[in-house]
A = this chain, B = another copy of it.
Amino acid sequence: MIRFESDYSEGCIPEILEALNRTNNEQTPGYGMDKHCAKARKFIQKACKSDKVDVHFLVGGTQANATVIAAGLRPYQGVICADSGHINVHETGAVEATGHKCLPIPSKDGKISAKEVEEVIKAQKYDASKEHIVQPGMIYISFPTETGTLYSKKELKDLYQVAKRYQVPLFVDGARMGYGLMAKENDCTLNDFVKYSDVFYIGGTKVGALFGEAVVIVNPQLKKDFRYNIKQRGGMLAKGRLLGIQFETLFEQDRYFEISKKAMRQAERLTAAFKKKGYDFYYKPQSNQLFPILSNKKAEALRKNFTFLDFGVIDKNHKVARFVISFMTSDENVDALIKAL
């Protein structure tokens, strides 16, 4: 059985295990104040081409989302997101558990536009009874989105202009950031997220690490006392160096980008194969998650040798499948799937 069901099925790149072995007996201060975290911060600042940003390491994505959002909002504020946004559908109400409403915008492709966001902000701002309506206090997008699509640099800039105009910070969930950055169609860099967002995170869990997300805070107003928020939300690892060591390994050289690039070339090869065989895609295939439309018969046949997710139903005879490529996917496995198509 060959698995294409998620990008967190395996462990991590071997270099990380080597680093954990090498450093195991070192004695360091706890809670992210060690030299590995310090180095990893520097490397990430360099990758972001900015020494002004703050970098914090958190264990997982739901934790990172809830912590950043709760830290940035006043009690009566909510967070604008796509209705398919991870925070809105797959985090068991973690944002609401901190007291804040998700303000979902219906989305066909997992993205929301500057225009749509502005309309939501204005609708509340200029409503006669605005104090009865949750005030938009943050904008949440995912790059890539949960449905594998990408924002262009133009779209990102437009969103950020709205964010600045109304002083509603833009937060980018980058759980799969590496794949997005290395996608063929992408025109955004890490530095663009420094320029065009207020806070974002660079996902490790799904891109090379055992676990861990690096939160990068650009907007000075969001920097203050952020470590208190991490601790309060249960995200401050006692042996914080584990996160430092992992991101040090990923960013000291360009490992993060290399492994993402390799995965994206595989994903694009697979996309081309699907297209060649005449399959349509339910969402535009732009990153490491592909959503081809399969006949039920074909899906059944593939299931014998491959695992993938049933994502939705098109009609009596067709469904949407989800195939995920990761940094651990081997060329052989991609070849085998292409052959089976």
A residues with a Cβ closer than 8 A to B are: 3, 6, 8-12, 14, 17, 20-21, 23-31, 59-63, 66-67, 70-71, 74-76, 78, 89-94, 96-102, 129, 131-135, 205-206, 210-211, 225, 227-239, 242, 328
21 contacts between A and B (CB under 8 A): A6-B30, A9-B29, A10-B25, A20-B210, A21-B21, A59-B59, A59-B60, A59-B234, A59-B237, A60-B237, A60-B238, A62-B234, A75-B229, A76-B228, A94-B234, A96-B99, A132-B236, A205-B238, A205-B239, A210-B239, A234-B235
Question: Within the complex, what minimum Cβ distance (angstroms) separates A47 from chain B?
Answer: 23
User: With A28-B9, A98-B97 as given contacts, are A63 and B228 in contact (CB-CB < 8 Å)?
Assistant: no
Give chain A's interface secondary structure class.
loop
The answer to whether B89 touches A100 (Cβ under 8 A) is no
Docked pose: A210 CA to B242 CA in angstroms: 8
The answer to whether B235 touches A132 (Cβ under 8 A) is no
Chain B residue with the shortest CB-CB distance to A227: B131
Docked pose: A17 CA to B21 CA in angstroms: 7
Given contacts A31-B129, A93-B134, 11 further A-B contacts (CB under 8 A): A3-B27, A75-B232, A91-B132, A92-B133, A92-B228, A96-B134, A99-B99, A131-B231, A132-B236, A211-B239, A233-B234
Chain B residue with the shortest CB-CB distance to A230: B131
User: With A8-B239, A10-B24, A11-B23 as given contacts, are A234 and B75 in contact (CB-CB < 8 Å)?
Assistant: no
The answer to whether A101 touches B102 (Cβ under 8 A) is yes
Question: Within the complex, what minimum Cβ distance (angstroms) separates A121 from chain B?
Answer: 15
Residues of B within 8 A of A228 (CB): 74, 76, 92, 131, 135
Residue with the highest number of chain B CB atoms closer than 10 Å, among A60, A74, A91, A232: A232
The answer to whether A132 touches B92 (Cβ under 8 A) is yes
Residues of B within 8 A of A23 (CB): 11
Docked pose: A74 CA to B328 CA in angstroms: 39
Residues of B within 8 A of A10 (CB): 24-28
Docked pose: A96 CA to B129 CA in angstroms: 19
Residues of B within 8 A of A135 (CB): 92, 225, 228
Chain B residue with the shortest CB-CB distance to A102: B101
Residues of B within 8 A of A12 (CB): 24
User: With A60-B237, A211-B242, A234-B60 as given contacts, are A90 and B27 in contact (CB-CB < 8 Å)?
Assistant: no
Question: Within the complex, what minimum Cβ distance (angstroms) separates A341 from chain B?
Answer: 21
Chain B residue with the shortest CB-CB distance to A18: B21
The answer to whether B76 touches A232 (Cβ under 8 A) is yes
Residues of B within 8 A of A231 (CB): 62, 76, 91-92, 94, 131-132
